[in-house]
């Protein structure tokens, strides 16, 4: 965990990582990072992996969607999408 100048812990939850799996960067998923995404965009992404621009996710996230988030109920995907778009998910 990182610390700030005063020694306090800094929270980087959901802010991404420049050194992700296999050397690929992982984008952040805070509400600031997802400001251009609607709740409906997020629901569709979690169900089938399509982005608002029409691209499909790949690599490890495609596996997450295929084996996990696509299997969630619509209500669960909606709840996750609302959280990701909420003020509670601000960095």
Residue-wise pLDDT tens digits, 5-62 = 777 767 778 888 888 888 888 899 999 999 999 999 999 999 999 999 999 998 889 9
Domain count, the chain: 1
Of the candidates 31, 24, 11, the one whose C-alpha atom is nearest the C-alpha of residue 62 is 24
Residue 10 lies in a domain: no
Residue 15 lies in a domain: no
Residue 70 lies in a domain: yes
Per-residue pLDDT at 19: 86
Residue 9 lies in a domain: no
Per-residue pLDDT at 2: 66
Enter the pTM of the model.
0.82
Indicate if the pLDDT at residue 3 is higher than 80: no
Residue 6 lies in a domain: no
Residue 41 lies in a domain: yes
Q: Are 16 and 25 in contact (CB under 8 A)?
A: yes
Residue 5 lies in a domain: no
Per-residue pLDDT at 1: 58
- 17, β-bridge pairs: 26
Residue 4 lies in a domain: no
Per-residue pLDDT at 91: 75
Q: Residue 42: give the domain boundaries.
A: 21-89
């Amino acid at each position: 965990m990182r610390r700030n100048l005063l020694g306090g812990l800094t929270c980087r939850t959901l802010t991404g990582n420049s050194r992700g799996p296999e050397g690929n960067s992982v984008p952040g998923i805070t509400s600031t990072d997802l400001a251009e995404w609607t709740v409906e965009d997020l629901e569709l992404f979690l169900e089938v992996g399509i982005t608002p621009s029409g691209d499909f996710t790949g690599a490890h996230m495609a596996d997450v969607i295929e084996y996990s988030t696509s299997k969630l109920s619509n209500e669960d995907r909606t709840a996750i999408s609302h959280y990701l778009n909420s003020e509670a998910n601000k960095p």
